[in-house]
Amino acid sequence: MVEQVSKRYWFDLSVLLVLLVIASSVLCFYAIPRWQHIKASQLLDEKVDEKDRASQPKLAVEPSFDPQFDFYTELSKAPVLPVTSKPLSSTTTVRSVAIHDGYVLQLAAFTQQADAQVFADRLAILGYQAFVVNMGKRHKQLFRVCVGPYKTKEDASPDQIKLKKLHIASYLRKIPAQHLKTT
């Protein structure tokens, strides 16, 4: 029994020793050189800064680091057109889009009009002529987000390719004008 305890003791001790060697090697190979590099670079930067300050002659004219293009300066040079204010009406306005028989790219369908309008606004920011179509059927109300209209399929294909590159799936639909009610 004493032999078993002794063997177990030596086995546990050897496992601990191996783990200690592994931990110390990791510390030596990764952490210590990194600490030394950081300390050395900090000391080197401090010494270089002191030497540079002492050895550099003082310039009569300080170099200018102003940007060559200043947004606010350029903006102030632009001509300003007078703004005519229109009285705001108390009723909500409905955006109307001139829609003819033809093709549209349907990009999404939402159950909430606000979600559809947000998506259409994001597409408008990207430069597309996006609009929301209310497709109410019996019990389910859907708001389709479409881009277009296009007279032919060929007119729609460049925008469809651009949207595909933006990872936005689209579906080409032929829709007569009387079915499109924009909101």
Q: Per the domain annotation, does 5 fall within a domain?
A: yes
Same structural domain for residues 113 and 151?
A: yes
Rounded to a whole number, what is the distance in angstroms from the first to the last CA of the chain?
A: 89
The verdict on residue 49 lying in a domain is: yes
Kindly state whether residues 109 and 73 are assigned to the same domain. no
- Shared domain check, 67 and 18: yes
- pLDDT over threshold 80, residue 125: yes
Clarify whether residues 73 and 116 are in a common domain.
Answer: no
**pLDDT at 117 exceeding the cut of 60:** yes
Q: Burial letters for 5-44: b for 16+ Cβ neighbours within 10 Å, e otherwise?
A: eeeeeeeeeeeeeeeeeeeeeeeeeeeeeeeeeeeeeeee
CATH of residue 171's domain is 3.30.70.1070
Range of the domain at 54: 1-77
Q: Please indicate, yes or no, whether residues 167 and 109 belong to a single structural domain of this protein.
A: yes
Tell me whether residue 95 is in a domain.
Answer: no
pLDDT, average across residues 122-142: 82
Answer yes or no: is 23 within a domain. Answer: yes
pLDDT value of position 168: 87
Q: Is the pLDDT of residue 18 over 90?
A: yes
Most confident of 10-19, 51-60, 129-138: 10-19
Region 150-163: mean pLDDT is 88
Q: In angstroms, what CA-CA distances link 49 with 30, 39, 42, 58?
A: 29, 15, 11, 15
pLDDT in tens, 19-61: 998 888 877 777 666 666 666 666 666 665 666 665 665 555 5
Region 62-81: mean pLDDT is 58
SS3 state of residue 100: coil
Is residue 31 one of the residues assigned to a domain? yes
Indicate yes or no: pTM above 0.75. Answer: no
Please give the tally of structural domains in the chain: 2
Q: Confirm whether 82 is domain-assigned.
A: no
The Cα 102–Cα 95 span in angstroms is 20
CA–CA separation, 145 and 142 (whole Å): 10
128 with 166, same domain? yes
SS3 98: coil
